[in-house]
Amino acid sequence: MEKMFPQIRTEDMKKFPYYYLLKICIVFGYSKIVKLLNVVCIIITSSTIVLQVYYLKQNFSKELILKYGCGISLTIYTIASMLVEFLIEQKTKKLLNEAGTILWPVNFCGVKVEKLILKRVTVMNIIYYFMSAWFALMGIIMLPIWGDHSEWLLCDVISNEYFETRWKILYFACSCFSFPVIAFSSIRLPVILLCTILQTHMQIILINQKLNQISEQMGNLNNIKLVDDKCYQKRIFEDLRLCVSHHGKIKKWLNKVLKLVQSIMPLYIILGCLNFISLLFFASDGLQNASNILKARLCVVLIVCCLVLSMFAEAGQALSDETSGVFDTLLTCPWYLWDKNNKKVLSIFLSNSFQPDSISVAGITLNYDFAVALLKTSSSYALVLYNMKN
C-alpha cells in the first residue's frame, strides 16, 4: 500500500478514511495469489456456462430456460465482474497512486475537523462491515456441503446425470473453491467506487472547512477597513488560491475516475437488470415447492444484489450531493470585504464549482432514482414472465 501512496508516510496514510477497506479490495484483491484464484475461478465458471449452453441445446425447452435462467444469468454476471476487475487493474492502481500525491490528510484543517471526519468514517465503516457480512454469508451458504444446487443451477443437474463419482468429487471441490472467491469479487468493485467517492467527500469537507476558517480568522465582519488591509487581503488570496488549486486537482482526478466508471457502467446496468428480473421471477414462481436451503440461498443472494445496487446508487448520489457543497459554502463568504483580485478568484471558483458532478451514461444517471427505477422495471418484467408462464 505504501508504494501506491508514495507521498504519504505509513502513519499518516492510516489516518485516511476507508484505508483498510481499500487495502483489502485493492492491495489484497490484486495480490498474486488472489489474481491466480480469480483466474482459476473464471475458468471453472466459464466451463460451467459452456456445459449449460450445450445441455440447453440438446434438451431445449421453455420450462428448462425459465427454471435455470436465473442461475445462468448470475454466473454470467460473476464472470463479467471478475474480468472487469482484471481490465481496470492498472488504471485503478494509477488513480490511487495519483490520489496519494494530491489528497489532503484528515488533519489538514486541525484536530476539530479531523474528529468530525473520523466520527463519520467510524459510522460508515460499521455499515460497510455489516454489508460485508452478507457477502461472507453468501460465500458460506452457497457451499455444496449444505445441499446441492440442482433446484436452480443447471450445472448440478449435468453433474448428477453425466459425471462419474471421481468427476463429481472434482466438481464438488471446484464448487467449494469458487463460491467464496465469487463472494469476494462481488463486493470489490462497489466498495472501491464508494470509497473513492467518500474520499472525495472528505476532500470537499476539508475545502469547505478551509473556506470557513477564512471567515473565522477575520474577526469583525463589519469592519470595512479590512478592504484596505494589504496583509489581510494577501492572506485571503493565498488561502483562496490554495482551495482553488486543490479543488481543481480533485475535479481533474475525479473526472478520470468517472471516465473509468462510465466505461463499465453499461455492462453492469444490463447484467444487473437481467439478474434482478430472473431472481424476482424465480422467487415468485419457483419457491412454492423449493427446499428450505434454496429459500435461504435465494434470500441471501437477493439481499446481496440489493446491497450491490445500493452501494452503486449511494456512490452516484453522494458524488452529486457533495460536489455541490463547495458552491454553497462560497456563497457564504464575506466577499464584500475582499479586494478586486480576491473577488476575481472567488468568481472563478464559483464558476468551477457551480455544476455538481454525476455518473451518467446515455442519459442514465447513477443515483437513488436509478436504483428505484431499476427495481420497478425488473419487477414489471418479472411479473410479465410469471403471467406468460401461468
Chain-centre distance for alpha carbon 91: 16
Q: So what's the pLDDT on residue 132? A: 85
- Give the pLDDT confidence of 344-353 residue by residue, as tens digits: 888 888 888 8
Confidence of residue 227 (pLDDT cuts 50, 70, 90): low
Tell which phi-psi region holds residue 18, choosing left (phi > 0), alpha (psi between -120 and 50) or beta.
left
Give, rounded to a whole angstrom, the gap between the first and last alpha carbons of the chain: 55
Q: Which domain holds residue 380?
A: 2-29+89-142+187-389
Distance CA 345, CA 214 (A): 14
pTM of the model: 0.82
Cα 6 to Cα 249, 275, 277, 379: the distances in Å are 17, 40, 45, 48
The residue among 390 and 66 whose pLDDT is bigger is 66
pLDDT for residue 5 is more than 70: no
147 belongs to a structural domain: no
pLDDT of residue 376: 92
* 156-165: pLDDT as tens digits: 888 877 777 7
For residue 191, what pLDDT is reported?
81
pLDDT, mean of residues 87-100: 84
Round to whole Å and give the CA distance between 175 and 157. 14
pLDDT in tens, 167-181: 778 878 888 888 888
Q: Are 261 and 319 in contact (CB under 8 A)?
A: no
Is a pLDDT exceeding 50 seen at residue 11?
Answer: no
pLDDT, tens only, 280-290: 988 888 777 78
Looking at 31-112, which runs of residues are DSSP E strands?
Answer: none
Per residue in 38-73, pLDDT (tens digit) is 999 999 899 889 988 888 888 888 888 888 888 888
Displacement of CA 152 from its chain's centroid (Å): 28
Q: What is the mean pLDDT of residues 190-218?
A: 80
pLDDT of res. 6: 41
Residue whose C-alpha cell reads 449449460 in the numeric block = 52
Whether 340 has a pLDDT exceeding 70, the answer reads yes
Distance CA(72)–CA(65), nearest Å, equals 9
What 8-state DSSP symbol labels residue 146? G
Question: Based on the number of CB atoms within 10 Å of its own CB, is 108 exposed (0-12), middle (13-18) or buried (19 or more)?
Answer: middle
Write down the pLDDT at residue 2: 46
Q: What is the mean pLDDT of residues 233-261?
A: 86
Per-residue model confidence (pLDDT) at position 7: 41
For 182-214, what is the HEC assignment? HHHHHHHHHHHHHHHHHHHHHHHHHHHHHHHHH
Residues paired with 364 in a beta bridge = 361
Strand, coil or helix: 168: helix
- Residue closest to 171 by CA, chosen among 163, 179, 181, 183: 163
Asked if the structure places residue 278 within a domain, the reply is yes
Does residue 43 sit within a domain?
no
String of b and e for 256-277 (b: at least 16 CB within 10 Å)? ebbebbeebbeebbebbbbbbb
Confidence check: pLDDT of 294 > 70: yes
Give domain status of residue 161, yes or no: no
pLDDT one-digit tens code per residue, 22-32: 788 888 888 88
What does each C-alpha distance from 133 to 80, 129, 371 come to in angstroms?
Answer: 23, 6, 22
The domain total for the chain is 1
Say if CB 138 and CB 48 are below 8 A apart: no
Residue for cell digits 463519520? Answer: 120
Whether 176 maps to a domain, the answer reads: no
Q: Is residue 39 part of a domain?
A: no
Tell me if 68 is assigned to some domain: no
Flag whether 167 is in a domain.
Answer: no
